[in-house]
């Protein structure tokens, strides 16, 4: 029986000729990631291990982004612990104020992940890097600690779902609408501990940023990881962001086995929103009959805070005004995105429309800071989760959508798509 892309990467990193679904393996790692919530716990565990030094100071990335800039004394202590550990261990890839970004946007931008890599991170959205043809998945802080010491992690080899993509995305529809559509179809456990493997002619119409968005939310379908084939777009991205770095292209065998297949025609997709309190509660925005008024809009996060996302939002907000009384937060995902957006004049567009622009942070996405919701408030957001209390009060609500739809919602003061503005 042949192997999928994910299975081939895991086999090579486990130094095995082949692996099978359900098999337990120990694999070598190319990168270990932690943030200011998970890394301090991992550091405490690491200090109880026999190892005094990390396995490779170039293969660990520490990014304080969840409660940074420090929201309180506890957050400051956590960031200080990470900073001291990075200094003591001489870790090269430590990113804080002035260099920071939201981790899953920052690492690809910095060229730290390339095709064929095996990556773990103590954050569930580590699956983002599958957009580059890498195997990447989230783990717990204890696994991160052991990985920092040994450079290895154990895995159960996942089964796979094959997602065949055809057609082209219509205007005003993006990768966020695609992944919300998929999660709406299969549910939040539809790919439980399975690899979501994308294929098909339609992939050429998906930008790298679309792919990052889609892979990022694989975990919201229960997936172990998502992975895209390496094509010309992937190679061009790596040439720009990781010049000279070696990578390896894996392709699935023709007789690879999949537990399920899903066919999607991109041309049939429409602007989609996930209603509270699960990402699977999806509806086509244009079909919503009763107005859903909102109090806040967030455009940013590791899902949709890249430059292309800000451009899409700015194109809609430019020359328009945010609905009176509405709070609109724009959060560039990295310092580079912030700088590029500033040089393009996007920040001026946002501010003139009535929005505010924040430094890179995960802040409001996890209900950490800089955008907490009060009782009964509703937020239209480009983030990835809308669980109960995700952004604040347990009686608040989060609606997930694309940057285009979030910008349209900001103008109209209710859940909307660009089609509503045209109408």
pLDDT digit string (tens) for 66-81?
A: 998 999 999 999 999 9
SS3 label, residue 159 = strand
Q: What is the mean pLDDT of the chain?
A: 96
297 has a pLDDT exceeding 70: yes
13 has a pLDDT exceeding 90: yes
d(CA 110, CA 240): 10
Residue 423 pLDDT grade (very low, low, confident, very high; cuts 50, 70, 90): low
Answer whether 27's CB lies under 8 Å from 136's CB.
no
Domains of the chain as residue ranges with CATH? 5-265 (3.30.499.10), 271-422 (3.30.499.10)
30 has a pLDDT exceeding 80: yes
d(CA 304, CA 401): 10
DSSP-derived secondary structure letter, 139? -
Q: Could you give the C-alpha distances from 349 to 333, 408, 422, in angstroms and in order? A: 18, 14, 20
Q: Could you give the C-alpha distances from 22 to 186, 212, 261, in angstroms and in order? A: 22, 27, 19
pLDDT digits (tens, 9 = 90+) for 191-238: 999 999 999 999 999 999 999 999 999 999 999 999 999 999 999 999
% of the chain residues with pLDDT over 70: 100
Mean pLDDT, to the nearest integer, of 85-94?
Answer: 96
Answer whether 241's CB lies under 8 Å from 212's CB.
no
């Amino acid at each position: 029986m042949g192997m999928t892309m994910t299975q081939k990467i895991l086999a090579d990193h486990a130094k095995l000729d082949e692996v099978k679904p359900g098999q337990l393996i120990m694999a070598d790692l190319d990168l270990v990631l932690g943030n200011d919530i998970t890394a301090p716990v991992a550091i405490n565990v690491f200090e109880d291990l026999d190892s005094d030094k990390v396995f490779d100071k170039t293969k660990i990335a520490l990014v304080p982004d969840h409660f940074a800039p420090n929201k309180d004394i506890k957050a400051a202590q956590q960031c200080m612990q990470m900073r001291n550990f990075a200094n003591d261990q001489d870790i090269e890839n430590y990113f804080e104020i002035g260099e920071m970004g939201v981790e899953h946007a920052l690492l690809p931008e910095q060229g730290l992940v390339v095709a064929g890599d095996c990556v773990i991170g103590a954050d569930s959205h580590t699956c983002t890097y599958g957009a580059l043809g890498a195997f990447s998945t989230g783990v717990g802080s204890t696994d991160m600690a052991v990985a920092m010491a040994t450079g290895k992690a154990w895995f159960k080899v996942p089964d796979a779902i094959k997602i065949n993509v055809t057609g082209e995305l219509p205007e005003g529809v993006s990768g966020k609408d695609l992944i919300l559509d998929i999660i709406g179809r299969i549910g939040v456990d539809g790919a439980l501990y399975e690899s979501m493997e994308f294929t098909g002619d339609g992939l050429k119409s998906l930008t790298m940023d679309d792919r990052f968005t889609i892979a990022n939310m694989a975990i919201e379908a229960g997936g172990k990881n998502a992975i895209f084939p390496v094509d010309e777009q992937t190679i061009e991205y790596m040439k720009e962001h990781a010049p000279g770095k070696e990578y390896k292209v894996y392709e699935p065998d023709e007789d690879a086995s999949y537990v399920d297949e899903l066919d999607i025609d991109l041309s049939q997709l429409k602007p989609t929103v996930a209603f509270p309190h699960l990402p699977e509660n999806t509806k086509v925005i244009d079909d919503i009959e009763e107005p859903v008024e909102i109090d806040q809009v967030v455009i940013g996060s590791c899902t949709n805070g890249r430059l292309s996302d800000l451009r899409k939002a700015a194109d809609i907000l430019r020359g328009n005004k945010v609905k009176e009384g509405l709070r609109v937060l724009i959060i560039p995902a990295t310092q580079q995105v912030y700088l590029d957006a500033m040089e393009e004049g996007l920040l001026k567009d946002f501010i003139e429309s009535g929005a505010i622009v924040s430094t890179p942070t995960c802040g409001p996405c996890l209900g950490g800071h800089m955008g907490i919701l009060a009782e009964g408030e509703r937020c239209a957001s480009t983030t990835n989760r809308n669980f109960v209390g995700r952004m604040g009060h347990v009686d608040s609500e989060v609606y997930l959508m694309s940057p285009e739809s979030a910008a349209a919602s900001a103008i109209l003061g209710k859940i909307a798509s660009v089609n509503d503005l045209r109408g």
